[in-house]
Structure 1
């Protein structure tokens, strides 16, 4: 294994610092938050209306794990305890069996914190 004394560029340092701040924002909300839960949140933020099936395809994690993560991101977790209230589920108007996932206002606020904006530019569905 080789070791390099080469210092990272200013751009690399900035990117690493942004990544660090991103992780810390999630840790402030829920210190034990698994990375795959953060990944699911980001995918929902990037693709409002994404379905759980699409999330499973993109993230390649187990269905039970994804269901647990989505529940934790909503208003109530799978045990009925308060969730993070970052995501809301809505029935697909074209197929009532399918749930579409959107960010709540709190979810958009978190995106704003993550990217340094005061307001997220994505469409909000629900509260």
Structure 2
């Protein structure tokens, strides 16, 4: 029961900020928290959805939606430096702050998440390897 209560607390954080957020969008966001730099293809495989649906969820989490409306700004989508057709996702500072709130809701002892690699740091690291 304790873990279900923690999950409920975490979902309530999303609901307070984004009242109509779809469950799949939450799952996509959590995949980026767990695996910074995850591609849409890998996200689709991880949660059992189509790549086109995942792209729409990523756009809601990003700067602009697929409709050109303002997104939530939680995720940066960048071109993979070694494969420009592929996009990879990283948390923005706003996304990292939300992930921290969720982590505390799940584990009230206050242990925070380790700092995630940013999109800029990833690009610099990968370009240094090319």
Range class of TM-score, shorter chain: 0.7 to 0.9
Q: Find out whether 1:84 has 2:72 as its counterpart.
A: yes
SS in 2 for 1:79: coil
Alpha-carbon separation, structure 1, partners of 2:18 and 2:5 = 20
The alignment's TM-score, normalised by the length of structure 2, stands at: 0.80
Unaligned 5+ runs, structure 2: 105-109, 121-130
Deviation at 1:98, TM superposition (A): 1.1
Q: Contact between 1:108 and 1:119, CA under 8 Å: does it hold in 2?
A: no
Greater relative contact order structure (CA < 8 Å, 6+ sep): 2
Deviation at 1:37, TM superposition (A): 0.6
Q: Contact between 1:109 and 1:118, CA under 8 Å: does it hold in 2?
A: no
Alpha-carbon separation, structure 2, partners of 1:64 and 1:97 = 14
Deviation at 1:119, TM superposition (A): 5.8
Name 1:71's counterpart in structure 2.
59
Alpha-carbon separation, structure 1, partners of 2:26 and 2:88 = 18
More helix, by proportion = 2
Q: 2:47 aligns with which of 52, 55, 59?
A: 59
Alpha-carbon separation, structure 1, partners of 2:8 and 2:98 = 15
Residue correspondence of structure 1 range 1-127 to structure 2 within 5 A: 12-13=1-2, 15-116=3-104, 117=110, 120-121=113-114, 122-125=116-119
Name 2:125's counterpart in structure 1.
none
Alpha-carbon separation, structure 2, partners of 1:120 and 1:84 = 21
Deviation at 1:125, TM superposition (A): 2.9
Deviation at 1:106, TM superposition (A): 0.6
Q: Contact between 1:108 and 1:124, CA under 8 Å: does it hold in 2?
A: no
Unaligned 5+ runs, structure 1: 1-11
SS in 1 for 2:89: strand
Q: How large is the RMSD of aligned CA atoms in angstroms?
A: 1.6
Deviation at 1:82, TM superposition (A): 1.2
